[in-house]
Amino acid sequence: MTSIGDISTTRPAFTAATGTQTGARAVRIWLWSVAALVFLMVVVGGATRLTESGLSITEWRVVTGVIPPLSEAAWLVEFEKYKQIPQYSQLFPNMGLGEFKTIFFWEWGHRILGRIIGFAFALPLAFFWAKGWLSRDLKPKLLGLLALGGLQGAVGWWMVKSGLTGRVEVAQERLAVHLLLASLTLTFLVWLAVGLKPKAAEALGAATSRLRATGTAILILVLVQIGLGALVAGLRAGLTYNTWPLMDGHFIPPLANLTSVSPLWANLVDNVTTVQFNHRMMAYALLALAIWHAFDAARAASGTAAARRARALAGLVLTQAAIGVVTLVLVIPISVALLHQAFAMVVLMMAAIHRRRLAD
């Protein structure tokens, strides 16, 4: 997959040879619609994780898995499969069939939504391709997105498999990969959709290169922070150190606590203290960069749309940081935690829109 910085900043031309303005608008609406579905997918995925529902379906059936159990006997069969994994015996040994149905439907809905997104992307793609509404520049990028969606499904099952034996939850590093792939998919959908709408170039003068570089850095840091957040969720690290701004009385925890896991690199993914500390520090770095970028854009390009977007982006990052603090000190209530994850996607989309517009 091509990196953000390598994507051509030239807009696909919809001429008589490649399509019409109607076609361009239809493609743009389609991309935004799929982006909305991916956003919903991330939220449902977060709910699935927070309700401990992700391991309720212990098999991957591409076709027959579309239909949930339709009889009491079928439900009992699925429940018996769930009882064979460690999560049931170690965490929920007293779970009844009614409770199982609830977590089952969260995971089933997550998987069904994944299939819906696949069809919502692939079928219109084939239609627009046949109509000649896709430029030569756009076609390989859309095929790359289609491949990324297929990879996401495979990674999802790879993630679930990690929690079926030997542990009571999915591996946090696999959860991070799964969420990052969804985030990259959302980023590229937004990037391409924004690039299909003609807009006059912004007069940024000598600051153009600097603002673009900072905008790229913000987008990358948002993605890194989302990955770190997934590690926090996977390790349940948010259930510890529920004070802010200090962690157990320290702004920077003792080195012995940050390096208690062996080998040393494993602290980055397996150490609850290190994972939460990294998530906090990245939040501070991202917020500082976003605020600096907003001031820089206001000074160098006052009154422009770029300056307004930079200011809005800084405001969103600040809001997200505040939601994160509230989530932590309240000890991860599901509703607030879901808001935190959903708002991360809002920040990501704004960062992508802002950086794409700076490419004009």
Q: Which of 189, 242, 227, 217 is nearest to 1 (CA)?
A: 189
| Beta carbons of 184 and 223 less than 8 angstroms apart | yes
DSSP type of residue 67: S
This prediction has a pTM of 0.91
Q: Is the pLDDT confidence value at 274 over 60?
A: yes
Q: What pLDDT is stored for residue 63 in this prediction?
A: 83
CA dist 172 and 236 (Å) reads 9
Q: What pLDDT is stored for residue 206 in this prediction?
A: 80
Q: What pLDDT is stored for residue 14 in this prediction?
A: 44
Q: Is the pLDDT confidence value at 19 over 60?
A: no
Q: Which of 169, 175, 170 is nearest to 152 (CA)?
A: 175
Q: What pLDDT is stored for residue 234 in this prediction?
A: 94
Which pLDDT band holds residue 316 (cuts at 50, 70, 90)?
very high
Q: How many helices (H) and strands (E) does the chain have?
A: 12, 0
| Interval 327-337 mean pLDDT | 96
Q: Is the pLDDT confidence value at 3 over 80?
A: no
Q: Is the pLDDT confidence value at 11 over 50?
A: no
Q: Give the position of tokens 């309700």.
A: 51
CA dist 54 and 44 (Å) reads 11
